[in-house]
Every structure is written in structure tokens, then in C-alpha cells.
Amino acid sequence: MSDSLIGVDYFIILAYFILISLYGYWVYNKRKNKNLSSHDYFLAEGSLTWWAIGASIIASNISAEQFIGMSGDGFFVGIAIGVYEWVGALTLIIIAVWFLPIYLKNKIFTMPQFLKRRFNDKVALIMAVFWLLLYVFVNITSILYLGAIAINTLVGGASMHFIMVIFTVCSVLIALGGMKVIGYTDAIQVAILLIGGLATTYFALEVVSAKFGFGKDVLAGLKAMMTAAPDHFHLIYKKPDATSSQHYIDQYLIVPGILMYVAGQWIVNLEYFGTNQYITQRALGADLTTARKGLMFAGILKMMMPVVVMLPGIAGYVLYQKGYLPQMGTGNIKDIKDHAYPSVLGFLPNGLKGLSIAALSAAIIASLAGKANSISTIFTLDIYKHYFNKEADEKKMVRIGRITVIIAMIIGLFFTWDDVLGIGGTGGFTFIQKYSGFISPGVLAAFLLGMFWKRTTGTAAIVGIVGGFILCIFFNEFAPQVLGHNTWLYTAYPTASGRWEIPFLICMGLTFGFTVILMTLLSLLGPKINPKSFVIDRSMYRVNGSVLVMIIIILMIFSAIYVKFW
């Protein structure tokens, strides 16, 4: 195994950065003399094709937290962690069919705008501020940190801060071009991500095959992994009992069996893909058919992502168990899981290693640029324009948006520089899922009831969002100590530190249920039809033939996976 890079690796990495830079400049240059409106800058209104929308969603969604975090959880729990991607593809169907028509019919361009139009200014402002803080202090910081850790490991371990700066500068340059530049460069980023990621998976399976004495045979490598780690190839973890080991309990806390499919996983994915500016923004500037096809294309790509980001982690687990990854140490595998992907990359030959670094860099830069654009969109359209300068013209708003991009990335870099937020100690994927997840139940409840129940009031929305946040903290941090370890609502389990925890996805389901009940009771005190409720035309939920075919493809792939690995 070689950890050093040679000339061909640096050439491939440099070629990637040059390609993205030149292509982004070409897209930007095509329209630089035009009078760029705020909707053009923030949404690329009407100019993104369905394949660009789908590719941009995946490029923005798949980043260091997947390559490092999800691969690490593949190392720790196996293919069950793929539920985040596979159920995510199913939720994209729901969003394309039922959410998008409401957004587009009502000309919704930002998620705070939806809350303002459906409820009131207070709801919109609370969530605008919260989303900005979340995007800057959770998403940007974690993507920067995890990405820099991975690349730094591969280039010798002495370039952490330099890599952070490179990622920051590149993402700023792309984001300054606006959503059109982001959307079309993301198409290139996804191509590089898939080529490099699949090549890494292919070679990782060859390495496993060779180490187990089967030669360089990919299928033999996969079979060897399934034989050596059968516990890593089932999707549903059974509930722990008195005989369960601490290792098994720790796994169950991450993927709590069939219960996570009842509520938790749907809440995570519906909130992320349906109410998240960072994701929905790609589709909000298109017509309904184009937007739907874009989301379905993203869903098909999403079904493939566990092959790219999860299988290398399982390969790392098998190699680690056989003693072929001594650099990972000998501690608890839960504590070293985030080192799985970089360690597997160390087996790659020169040239392919450079391609893998380019693929990982593509995922990181695309995500950072998309996040920065979403931050600038929310700040400019929902805060600056509304509260600071109502008379701002289009040119002024674009300029403020670009300044916001720069400031957001500088803040993110500052808090990542010495890991002030402790991302490394928490675990990257867990850090993002947990802190993003605290708001998911309340936000999703407000959006769902706001869309589909005309009686929902603004007061109920505020109480639901704030109350959901408080309830999620209560169930995660205090419920086992206050209510007991085993109740009719939940079962809590001991961690290695002696603390008792309810599986996080179960906490989300409980929070969502109580939040919906609370919002329903409050709304019943108001008028039978809220004057701000949306008018729904059921005909807009119909889908055309091409979208239906794409939906069927996703459902067939999902069914095949679960029939095989249940």
C-alpha cells in the first residue's frame, strides 16, 4: 500500500480543478453582459434542464459527510445505513408529485417565503435565521472539516489548513456565478464523482478479493465480504435484548430496525428534500414537468450512491478485521470509523488515487457552493430585502448575495480551522444528522399541515416549530432519566459511557407525532379555513408518462434491494 502521490495523481487533480474552473467561467461568460436579475442569480430561473437539476441535487447532497461519514457507518453497521439514500429516493417521489406543484403554483422561491405566505412574518423570520445558522455552523463547517481530513490523510497529513483554504476559495468562485453556474458545473461534478467513486469501489473489491486469495475478481471480492461480514449485509436490525453486546446496541442506536421506517427515516428525508432551501432551490426556477423529471433523475442516481460511498466502508471493515489496515489503530471501531474511507483509498494505485481525490473534491466543492448559494438566497430575499432595504433593485440584491457568499464561507472556515465545534469528536455523519434533525420534526409538521390542511394557523406553526425543537431535545437528552428507560412510548439503551439513549430516529418519530397533535389542537381553536391557506387543484398532482416511468424504475430498484437483503 502506498500513501504517497506521484506526478500522474497531481496531474489528474490539477486537471479536475482546471476543467471545473474553465467550464464554470464559460457558463458565466455566456451571460455576463446580460442584465442579471435576482431570480436569475439565485434560481437560474427557466435555464436549468432536468438533468442539470437532478445532477445538481445529487452533487449538493453527496459530500464529505457521505464519503467519510456514511462510509464510516458502512464500516460500523453495514448496508443498513444505505436506508438514508434509498428511502431518500422514495421521498423524492413524494416531493415531486405532491410538494412541487404547491411551490410552483404559488411562485415560492424560498422556504421562508412559503412560511410567510402561508402563515406570517414571524414564522418566516424564525426559520430564516435558524436555517442560516444551521447552514453556516453545521453544514459548511462539517463539510469543510471532513473533506479536509480525508484529503489531508491522502497527501501526507501536513496540509489540513491549506486544503481548507483551497476548498473555500473554489466554492466561493463557483457560488459567485449564481445558480446557473452551480447547476451546470454540478453536472460535471457528478460525472467525476460517479466515475471516481465507482472506480474506488471497483478497486476496493479487487483488493478484498486479492487479500482473500481469489485474485483480482470484483464479484469474488463482494462474495468474500458477504462471507466474512454477514452481519454487515442485512437491512433490519432486531431489537436488542438482555444478551446483546454493547457493540450491537451501538449499532442499533444508529439504525433501529423496522421502527426507523415507521417514522424517523421519512421525517429526515421529507424535511431534507422537501423543505430544505439547499435542495429545493434547484427545482424552484423550472416548470413543473422539468422540475419533476429533475427530482426523479436525482432519485435514480441516489439509489446508486450507497455503492459509491458505503461499499468501500464495508470493504474497509473486512480488511481491518484481517489486519490489513493497521494505520486505523486498535480501538473501538465506533471511534475510528471515519478513517475507513481514507484508509481504503491508500490501497489505490497511482493515477486512480488522484481520480478518487478529484471525485471527493468534486463532492465537497459542489456541496459548499450550493450551501453558500442557499445562504445568500435566504439572507438576501427573506431578510435583507424584507427588513433592511425594501427598495433594493436587482443589481443591489445580486451584489448583496455575492457578499453574503464570501462572508458565510469565511465564517465557516474560521470555525473549522481548529475544529472549534468538535466535529471530529462527534463523528461527521452523526454531527450533521443529529443537529439538523433537532428541527426536522417541527419544520416538517408545519409544512405538511400548512400545505394540506386549510385550518392550520400561524400560531400553531410557531408553537410546532419551537415545540418540536424542545421536544426533540427532551427525548434525546432527558427522557430516559425523567420518564424511565422502558416505557410504552420507547425503549432506551445504555451506551459505552453508561448514559441511556433512545435511538435518534425514534426520538424524531415521537417528536413529530406529539408536534402534529399539538398543532392540530391549536388550529382547532381558529377558523375552519385559514384565510392564508393555499387553493389546491388536484389535477396538478397528475404526472406525465416520462415521470411515471422514472418513478417505476426507482420503485423496482428499491424493491429488489429489500427483497435481497431484508
Q: What is the DSSP letter of 478?
A: I
Residue 22: predicted pLDDT: 77
Residue 424: predicted pLDDT: 60
Residue 460: predicted pLDDT: 94
Residue 64: predicted pLDDT: 66
Q: What is the DSSP letter of 119?
A: T
Amino acid at residue number 262: V
Write down all domains in the chain, each with its CATH number in brackets: 7-238+255-419 (1.20.1730.10)
Spatial neighbors of 455 by CB under 8 A, at least 6 apart, are: 523, 524, 526, 527, 528, 529, 530, 533
No. of helices (H) and no. of strands (E), the chain:
30, 2
Residue 95: predicted pLDDT: 94
- The total number of residues written for the chain in this structure: 566
Residue 34: predicted pLDDT: 56
Residue 369: predicted pLDDT: 86
Residue 362: predicted pLDDT: 79
**H/E element, 89:** helix 83-94
Residue 1: predicted pLDDT: 40
Report helix, strand or coil for 254.
helix
Task: Report how far residue 324's alpha carbon sits from residue 133's, in angstroms, rounded to the nearest whole number.
Answer: 42
Residue 446: predicted pLDDT: 94
Quick one: which of 120, 30, 23, 75 has its CA closest to 343?
A: 75
The pLDDT averaged over each successive group of 10 residues in the chain (566 residues) is: 67 82 72 61 71 83 74 87 90 93 88 90 89 87 82 75 89 80 75 81 88 85 89 89 86 86 85 84 84 93 88 88 76 75 79 78 82 89 88 86 92 86 60 72 93 92 92 90 90 87 90 96 90 84 92 94 87
Residue 231 vs residues 74, 236, 259: alpha-carbon distances, Å: 11, 10, 19
Quick one: which of 292, 374, 175, 250 has its CA closest to 551?
A: 292
Judge whether 558 and 90 are in contact, CB under 8 Å: yes
Report helix, strand or coil for 310.
coil
